[in-house]
């Protein structure tokens, strides 16, 4: 698995990362209008955190992180159904900045709270039908840097290890979700908390109403 050089982070932004079967762009540090540490602390304190339960090979487990779902529509993944909390002023302000930078509009955001080095996210693709055939997902990181892993589904020799520091914004689009999986492993080295905000556009599905 190749590791993206730290030298790339010093280049002019945004970066179009070299990847096949999808599109991946990176902003190293985005202006959120506020100190990253203060913003992290507010999100930790004020978000409606949940620890979901998932079933793997017939056995139930608690997800190794906390999550919160905000926006206009509900969302389902891995057998979990999330009903949205209303947008907060903080999340709305962040969304507007992310939309300005990326040129895409988003109606929902999933927050993942990695409390320490033990919390993780298994390898997966965000390919649910609610996201459409070519999902556009903007992933904003706050707090401790963690390594974002990408592995191609069929070309096993292709993989990327991408460090994501506080203030970085990663845009995944095109056919990336169709051909790649991504995740964050636990690590031996202790680290502080991290929150990742993944902004998405949910397409209404039959039988699911819009949040009031």
Write down the domain spans for the chain.
2-200
User: Is the pLDDT confidence value at 192 over 60?
Assistant: yes
Query: In the numeric block, which tokens belong to residue 22?
Result: 């999808």
Q: Check residue 121 and give its pLDDT.
A: 94
Helix H or strand E encompassing 67: strand 66-71
User: Is the pLDDT confidence value at 211 over 50?
Assistant: no
Match domain 2-200 to its CATH number in 2.60.120.590, 3.40.190.10, 3.30.365.10, 3.90.79.10. Answer: 2.60.120.590
Average pLDDT of the residues in 49-67: 83
Share of the chain above pLDDT 90, in %: 74
User: Is the pLDDT confidence value at 128 over 70?
Assistant: yes
In tens, the pLDDT along 73-114 reads 888 776 677 889 999 999 999 999 999 999 999 999 999 999
Share of the chain above pLDDT 70, in %: 89
How many C-beta atoms surround the C-beta of residue 165 within 10 A? Answer: 17
Count CA within 13 A, CB hemisphere, residue 195.
23
User: Is the pLDDT confidence value at 11 over 50?
Assistant: no
Q: What is the mean pLDDT of the chain?
A: 89
DSSP string over 161-181: EEEE-TT-EEEEETTHHHHEE
Average pLDDT of the residues in 112-140: 96
Average pLDDT of the residues in 143-168: 95
């Amino acid at each position: 698995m190749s590791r993206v050089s730290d030298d790339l982070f010093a280049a002019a932004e945004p970066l179009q990362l070299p990847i096949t079967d999808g599109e991946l762009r990176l902003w190293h540090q985005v202006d959120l209008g506020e100190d990253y540490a203060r913003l992290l602390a507010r999100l930790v304190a004020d978000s409606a955190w949940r620890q979901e339960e998932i079933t793997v090979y017939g056995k139930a487990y608690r997800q190794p992180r906390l999550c919160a779902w905000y926006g206009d529509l509900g969302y389902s993944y891995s057998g979990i159904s999330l009903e949205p909390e209303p947008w907060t002023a903080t999340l709305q302000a962040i969304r507007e900045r992310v939309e300005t930078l990326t040129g895409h509009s988003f109606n929902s955001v999933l927050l993942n709270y990695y409390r320490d080095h033990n919390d993780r996210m298994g390898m997966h693709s965000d390919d649910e039908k609610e996201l459409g055939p070519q999902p556009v997902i903007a992933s904003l990181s706050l707090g401790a840097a963690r390594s974002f892993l990408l592995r191609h589904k069929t070309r096993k020799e292709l993989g990327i290890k991408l460090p994501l520091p506080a203030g970085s914004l990663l845009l995944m689009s095109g056919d990336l979700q169709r051909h790649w999986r991504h995740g964050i492993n636990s690590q031996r080295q202790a680290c502080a908390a991290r929150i990742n905000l993944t902004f998405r556009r949910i397409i209404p599905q039959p039988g699911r109403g819009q949040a009031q």
